[in-house]
Amino acid sequence: MINKSILQSVISKYYLNVCESVTWKTEDKNLTIDFMSPTADIIGKVTCNNFPLENSELAIYDTKKLSSLISICNGDLLLELEKQHKLISKLKISDLNFNLTYAVSDPLLVPKVGTVNIPEFVVNLDLSKEDIDNLIKAKSALQGIDNMLITTTTNLDGENICEFVFGDEHGHNNKITYQISGDITEESMKIPYNSDTFKTVIHANKDMEEGTMKISSMGLIEFKFKTDEVSSEYYMVRKAETDF
């Protein structure tokens, strides 16, 4: 059995509204899901311990449809596999009232996930729940604008800080700046990102108990989040074109 909220958390952390097709790999009650966005601007992995399913690999082709099925359930869910000639054909999900069946896809239809060459990071930040909430609020206050600039500078006390600048830096346009202090070894860094993508990642991890964010001088961001049951990591590339 697995609680509905935990299963939904796992799905939201990889789905990000764009990652439809993935493979669920379960081994010794540990679930691992590698994923990549269609535009390859995000690559990541979600893991869940104590996952109540036998060793298997499930090709989930339509995550949105699976999520819709799970949404009608309540409480603890029983997960079972249905097989035809030793091949897994269906994922069966049930609670006290509903019995649901999701058809598993052909593994060949799931796109392969790329690899990431891990660079040296020059910015290392610990993200608190307050940071996550404030960054989401900042982005939400500027709907329709996908520009975000991450810079490194110093505050009035001479301490290195990382600034998240939402909006347009030109002229008199609207802009919101949020600061986080951390371990920063490169000054005057200035890198553009897509704020919609950034918000989607952190919003999917609002339930995190631990969170870190690292940035390389070339612009690659590494996120890592953790709860008691679920861990997630993401690699997000910088924005190729910018209005800054």
Sequence ranges of the chain with CATH classification 3.10.150.10: 2-109, 121-236
Provide mean pLDDT across the span 142-158: 90
Average pLDDT, the chain: 94
**Residue 155 structure tokens:** 């505050």
Q: Is 214:221 a contact under the CB 8 Å cutoff?
A: yes
Integer CA distances (angstroms), 149 to 51, 191, 202, 237, 244, in order = 38, 6, 16, 13, 8
Percent of the chain with pLDDT over 90: 87
H helices, E strands: number in the chain: 4, 17
**Residue 56 structure tokens:** 């298997």
pLDDT tens per residue, range 67-97: 999 999 999 999 999 999 888 999 999 999 9
Integer Cα distance of 111 and 108 in angstroms: 7
Q: Report the pLDDT value the prediction gives residue 86, as an integer from 0 to 100.
A: 85
> Which one has a higher pLDDT value, 171 or 202?
202
CATH level 3 topology of 121-236: DNA Polymerase III; Chain A, domain 2 (3.10.150)
Q: Report the pLDDT value the prediction gives residue 74, as an integer from 0 to 100.
A: 96
CATH level 3 topology of 2-109: DNA Polymerase III; Chain A, domain 2 (3.10.150)
pLDDT tens per residue, range 119-137: 999 999 999 999 999 999 9
Integer Cα distance of 71 and 133 in angstroms: 24
